[in-house]
Amino acid sequence: MEKKSSLSIKSIVAIGIGAALFFVLGRFVAIPSPVPNTTINIQYGILGVFGVIYGPVVGILVGFIGHTLIDLSWGSPWWSWIIASAVFGLIIGLAKKKVDIEKGEFGTKQIIAFNLFQLVGHAVAWLVIAPALDILIYNEPTEKLLAQGLWAGASNFITTAIVGTILLAAYAKTRTKEGSLKQEK
């Protein structure tokens, strides 16, 4: 008996495109910040879009693969932050059912849901996961981690709110609203 793949072709393509966009934006559009080894990033807005449209598995893999490629392009992977990006992808992917963008609606209720999920996702990723793993894996100093985590969480929240919300609103306009088509007689 042949086992079916749990990922559709559509999801696999989304992972490839999402990871590539995440990499390009993270590698070439990162804006320097006042906190060492931390930048202002817009790729989390893209990750938010892919998570909301395709769900948590795609979100995890886009974050994990995209962040790994960024780090490899600089020399070596920083696993604590790669895992944090994947966790953000998971959490924002869980917003798929709550936002349900495929119905063609992205009004106030959906915008608030998206931004609450991404706020929680960034808080967990950058204030819990990344610092905890930095201590466990790399024995990094706690004071440095607090500054990096707060900066990354706050700046990623703001850029995701702007980029993600704009892109999801545009995407929703490409979907057919439920009940908007009428049969001609």
Q: For the chain, what is the mean pLDDT?
A: 93
Q: What share of the chain is helix, strand, coil (3-state, %, to 5)?
A: 75, 0, 25
* pLDDT score, position 34: 92
* pLDDT score, position 129: 97
Inform me whether the pLDDT recorded for 182 exceeds 80: no
* pLDDT score, position 164: 98
Task: Show me where the domains of the chain are located.
Answer: 10-173
33 backbone dihedrals φ, ψ, rounded to 5°: -125, 170
* pLDDT score, position 29: 96
In sequence order, the 6+-apart residues with CB closer than 8 A to the CB of 143 are none
How sure is the predictor about 177, in pLDDT bands with cuts at 50, 70 and 90? Answer: confident
Q: Look at residues 8, 10, 15 and name the one whose alpha carbon lies nearest to residue 64.
A: 15
Inform me whether the pLDDT recorded for 130 exceeds 60: yes
Q: For residue range 9-38, what is the model confidence (pLDDT) as tens digits? A: 999 999 999 999 999 999 999 999 999 889
* pLDDT score, position 184: 63
The rounded distance, in Å, linking the Cα atoms of 154 and 17 is: 26
Q: Which fold has domain 10-173?
A: Arp2/3 complex 21 kDa subunit ARPC3 (1.10.1760)
Q: For residue range 50-70, what is the model confidence (pLDDT) as tens digits? A: 999 999 999 999 999 999 999
Inform me whether the pLDDT recorded for 166 exceeds 60: yes
